[in-house]
Amino acid sequence: MPVNESLLVVSTGDLSNLTGAGGAAAKRDAIALVAQNPAGAMARLKESKESGLSLTEAAAALDEILATVSPEEGRQLMEDHLTPGARVELIAARSDLPSVAAHIGSIEDVIAAMLADFGDPDVAPATVDFLFTLKVWAGNLKDREDWGKILDSTIYEGRTFRWFLLLSIWNDADRPALLVLDDEPIRAGQLDEFGNEVESVEPSDLYENSVLIGMFDEYGLDPVSSLRRLQVYLQSRDVPVFDRLRQQRVARQQSEVNYTGVWRKGTEVEEAQAVIAVKQAADELDL
């Protein structure tokens, strides 16, 4: 028996229910409806201003719509029914959460959404908030098949996403000295000189940089190549942005203390020691 198409019309109310606004039962009904007519739901969504939903609600509804179809179909629906500007706006609106749209959207849309979320290009790279936001995006995008291309995309000041991310991780780890990697790791499944498969063996230096290795893994970064790249970056003597960030962090904490009127014991001394330690580390690395 043919389906009555009038029963498959997706309303703005249905989109709102996708976000959970009407409760769990209403959300299940809305998802079932959208699964039968995803194109109709996308047509209704269009741009957030026209759908009657807030930007946050529209972005959440978009993710629920995309979850009802395959990644390929989802990307096509986005490109067929949403303008480039709308796609970027909706992806950026979910930057702090795992997002279906960010996971299946085109690399061009995702990078544009990141840049929009980062803010003013003349200011963003010099702020603490920028590094935090950068790592949130990295955590949400690391499982994409084209993660490597995203990492190598230029985002600010002629620098790649990878450059900012690796140096941010190094900075968060208190700028440890890096040991030179002399040997390539042997990966499990590789053949030795006798044609036998070998177990995974890594250079001993990786153990010495275990804190960094753990942080690299968190963002889907290969440990050996990341350490090598980081060595190259540090040898370039061009790591000024993080000095400014460190100063901003200290100033922000000082401002908070002044505002609340509460001094944490040892705060001033600890911050002074931290600044001295950073300078000493930079001198040791000849930065």
Q: What is the pLDDT of residues 145-192, one digit of tens each?
A: 999 999 999 988 788 999 999 988 887 787 777 665 544 444 444 444
The pLDDT, as a whole number, for residue 200 is 45
Whether the Cβ atoms of residue 171 and residue 242 lie closer than 8 Å to each other: yes
Environment class of 163 (CB within 10 Å of its CB; exposed 0-12, middle 13-18, buried 19+): buried
pLDDT > 50? residue 269: no
Distance CA 132, CA 136 (A): 6
Cβ neighbours of 158 (radius 10 Å): 7
Question: What is the average per-residue pLDDT within 215-229?
Answer: 87
Query: pLDDT for 39-71, tens place per residue?
Result: 988 988 875 556 678 888 889 999 999 999 999
DSSP 229: H
**pLDDT score of 233 more than 60:** yes
Distance CA 224, CA 207 (A): 11
Distances (CA, A) of 260 to 72, 218, 245: 52, 35, 23
Write phi, then psi, for 45 (nearest 5 degrees). -65, -50
The percentage of the chain sitting over the pLDDT mark of 70, rounded to a whole number, equals 66
Determine which of 212-216, 234-238, 253-257, 271-275 has the lowest per-residue pLDDT on average.
Answer: 271-275
Q: Which of 3-17, 103-117, 183-197 has the lowest average pLDDT?
A: 183-197
Q: Report the alpha-carbon distance of residue 57 to residue 20 in Å, rounded.
A: 10
pLDDT at 64: 92
